[in-house]
Structure formats: C-alpha cells, structure tokens
Structure 1
C-alpha cells in the first residue's frame, strides 16, 4: 500500500510539474500578448485604423488573469487541505487502508476539479487569442499572415479543449 501511495504521489508530482509548466507557458503567452497589445500603433493608413484594443478588452484580459490566479489559489488550498487531512489521520492513528484511500480519492477529485476549471480557463484564453487574431486580421493586408495566425489560434484552442488523463 505504501509503495502504491508513493508511486501515485510520484505520478501526481509529475502531473503537477506539467501543470505548472503549462501555467508558465500561458502566463508567458499572456504577457507577450499584453505587450503586443500595449505597443500596438494607433494610426490611420489609407482610411483604415490599425487595431488597438479597447479598455474593455484589456479589462477582460485582466479579469481572466485574476480568475486564473484564483483558480491556482483554489488548487493550492485544496492540496493543503488534503495534505493536512492525511497528516491528521496518520497522527491520530487512522492508518487504515480505507481511510487513506478515501483521503487520496478526495484529493484526486479536488485536483481533477481544479484541472477542469483550469482547462476551461485555458479554452477561454485560446478563444480570446483567436478573437484577437481575427481582429488583427481585419487590419492586416497579408492574407498569408492572417491564415497562419488563425491556424495557430485554432491549434491552441484544440489543445486547450483536450482533457489529458490525470
């Protein structure tokens, strides 16, 4: 049972590392997009206004970032509660197999729920990237760049919709 628990913990740690890497990639992508948006020129060329995000779009990005921060705090809090419950069960002498399995199942359920919330948020961000690309395409004169941006955004959206096994 201990070996199974250690093996399960190793798998969870690997998934957690992968999740943290994905969070870092998302944060980097958001920072990159925010930088692009903040430096977008506002000029008129042959009667067309180049894309510059409105304050509401900027507020949406900030709101999504806050949601992502809250989600990560919820994940951390649920993991802390599960770890504390396990430590309390062990210290009180409740090391029966059923109690340990129940604690582990609860922890896995909370982690899965947090993962689903994070994936939903990632899908929203990918959708925002696609919307952003469509808006930029309206101001772009090169159809090749437009198709490439849409293809990349669609790929990001497909990846965000997938549910990797825990």
Structure 2
C-alpha cells in the first residue's frame, strides 16, 4: 500500500529546506506553522540565510518549539541582534498541538521541519511533518527505487 502524498502549501520564497528528512523519515502528516521571530531574524531570512538541517521540533507545556534551527545574525543588526540557535516558538492551533503531542508520546513519532519559507502574504512559515524514522533496509529500498527511476529516465531518453 502506497503512502498518501503530503499536501502542498503556497510557497513564494523557500529560504531553507531539509532535503535529508524525506530520506531519513516516512512523512505521515504535514502541518504549516507560523514562527515567532524577532526583526533581525526576519531580515536574515529575507536575505536567504538560514538552515534547518539539524533542526527538530518539540512539544513543551502545550507549546511547540523549533529547536536547533540556525538563523545567522543579521550583518547590520548591532546590539539588537538575535542568538542564532535559540528555540523559536511555532504558532499552531491548539487542536494541532494536541494531535502532535499524542503522536510523539504514544506512537514514537518525530516532529521534523521540512522547509522554512515565506507565503504570499510575506509571513515566515515552517512546514512541519509528523514522521516515523526509517530503518536501514527502508533506506536501501529508497536508494534502489531512486536509482531505478534515474535509469528508467536514461533509457527512455536514449530510445525516444
């Protein structure tokens, strides 16, 4: 049985993407969350700086925080600059937070950020996924499937 495709959100400018997440995890459900940022963090993101490669999210006191996301200091930020790897609060509906908390606590799932982007209204958003970790054999299957699709493309291109 194939897994359902995750829903797509309206993204006008993608700032940071966690491409490794789709290889490391089975993506079960995707959420769109706002981020509580300071002014210099928004300016750094608008310049395209930021990384979520080693970031994850956690539920604490009925709030969700993005941990270990790196948004470098703004070059013209003087004394009002921010701390690059501080935990950032994610803005979600209470129902979504309870759903995430239950899945993480009971089913052993992980909250993984897939991308940070600006939507059409200019707001910074995080695409957050409830995911289950892949085992080594699952990763090998993914690699085999990816290589076969690449080979298929080559064969079709050479014949057509």
TM range (shorter): under 0.3
- Structure number with greater CO (CA < 8 Å, separation at least 6) is 2
TM-score by length of 1: 0.22
TM-score by length of 2: 0.23
Computing the radius of gyration from Cα coordinates, the structure with the larger value is 1
- Return the structure number with greater helix share: 1
